[in-house]
Structure 1
Amino acid sequence: MTPSTADRPDMSVEDFEELARRAPETVTLEFINGKLRVKPVPDGDHGAIFMLLLRQCMRHRPDLDLHPEQGLLMDAYRKGRVRPDGTLAPIGHFAGQPEWADSTGVLMLVEVTSYDSGTHRRDRVDKGRAYACGDIPVYLLVDRDDDTLTVFSEPKDGVYQRHPSYPFGATVPLPAPVGITLDTDRLKDFAH
């Protein structure tokens, strides 16, 4: 059976990596589910939300770093290449690794939705599948469309088994191996 046009990748992984290397600094490219994706430039609220999360993660777990925009290999999901908004990993974890680092040992990935037409497919569908296929223990989705945080955990066979959602302002427990509780009251300042 011949794969449908929708199932065929836009390009080879090698061509994607070359294109990403040559892209201007103002453009962030990802290769998810065989498709080229352009990440929008974050707005001020997006950045403020990320910084709020960064401060809390580092305060509660000083043994970890929350890296912004770290390029990761997601080979288990159609040889994907992603740049999550945040990658929580042990201090020094990415030292000596190339631009597209191995995701083994990453504890959590964070995405903050953007206000663009591709955010549903990219952040809510494709990345969740990619991260589960890559056995990332925790995926935190900060969804600015409905002012919620969804904590995806327990990846099994490419699907997260648990995914409770919490409104902005709630106390949000992040399960092991992250093991911290987020105070999201300040996120209400960024609700629209």
Structure 2
Amino acid sequence: MSDEAATQSAILLEIFLELDAGSPECVRAQLIEGEMVVTTAQAGSHEHCLSRFTEQVVRRHEFSISAHKGLVLPSYGPHPDNHVIPDLTIVGRREFRGAPPWWRPYGELKMVVEATGDRPELDRTAKRRSYALARIPLYLLIDRERAATTLFREPGDGDYLVHHTAAFGKPVPLPSPFSFDLETTDFL
């Protein structure tokens, strides 16, 4: 990385951290592949899909689920680390205890979930690659524009090596530690 690129990355990271993005109730600020991404409250259908997913998981397991956990993850190229807030972050029952606001969660995460919003390509590409680089074992993408759910698994070589896509209305088999078929009919 050139000195100029390193300086620009350092300045971007400093500005991002100065935002005090720790109040995601109103605004969600993320740093993804060298771009600051600020979003506000999402449409009801976005939250509806996430709620239906959460209900199915909670009925079967005792995981901790957060919609506000900041993750520090690797990025591609000459960018500062990604600072991402997934729509849902799923960990073991007590894993959030003692975690800082921006967490490097290597090994503790079970799954991250994104429902596409205003900028679906970020969820489909940049975030997916960042989750794979961090070796997060499962990434579930609820793609509202394409009316499909994709489960990415087996992170390696900077991306997920295996994925399964099902149209809304078709079940998505979730592997261990979830071990159930996710119903997607209600995502429609």
TM range (shorter): 0.7 to 0.9
| Structure-2 change in CA distance of 1:2 and 1:147 (3 Å) | same
Aligned-partner Cα distance in 2 for 1:22–1:102: 16
The CA RMSD over aligned residues, in Å, is 2.3
Aligned sequence identity (%)? 34
Q: How does 1:116-131 map to 2 (within 5 A)?
A: 116=118, 118-120=119-121, 122-131=122-131
- C-alpha separation between the residues in 1 aligned to 2:4 and 2:131? 24
Structure 1 segments of 4+ aligned residues over 6 angstroms from their partners: none
User: What is the distance in 1 between the residues matched to 2:66 and 2:24?
Assistant: 21
Q: 1:144 to 1:11 in 2, by over 3 A?
A: farther
Identify if the C-alpha distance between structure 1 residues 169 and 32 changes in structure 2 by more than 3 Å, giving closer, same or farther: same
After superposition, the Cα gap between the structure-2 partners of 1:95 and 1:166, relative to the gap in structure 1 and judged at 3 Å, is same
Structure 2 gap segments, 5+ residues each: none
Distance 1:184 1:76 in 2: 31
- Residues 162/94 of structure 1: CA separation in 2 closer, same or farther (3 Å cut): same
- 5+ residue gaps, structure 1, are none
Q: In the alignment, is the contact (CA less than 8 A) between 1:108 and 1:178 conserved in 2?
A: no
Structure 2 SS opposite 1:169? coil
Shift of 1:66: 2.0
Displacement, 1:186? 1.3
Structure 1 stretch 20-29 or stretch 79-88: which is displaced more?
20-29
- TM score, norm. by length of structure 2: 0.86
Note if contact 2:88-2:114 (Cα within 8 Å) is conserved in structure 1: yes
**In the aligned structure 1, how far is the partner of 2:24 from the partner of 2:75?**
28
Q: How many residues align?
A: 182
Please name the residue that 2:91 is paired with: 89
Change (3 A) 1:68 1:24: closer
Q: Quote how far apart the aligned CAs of 1:9 are.
A: 3.5
> Which whole-Å CA distance do the structure 1 matches of 2:143 and 2:22 have between them?
31
Measure how far apart 1:131 and its partner are. Answer: 0.2
AA of the residue aligned to 2:100: P
- Please give the TM-score of this superposition, normalised by the length of structure 1: 0.85
Q: Aligned to 1:142, what secondary structure does the other structure show?
A: strand
- Matched residue type, 1:148: A
1:161 is matched with 161
Shift of 1:139: 0.4
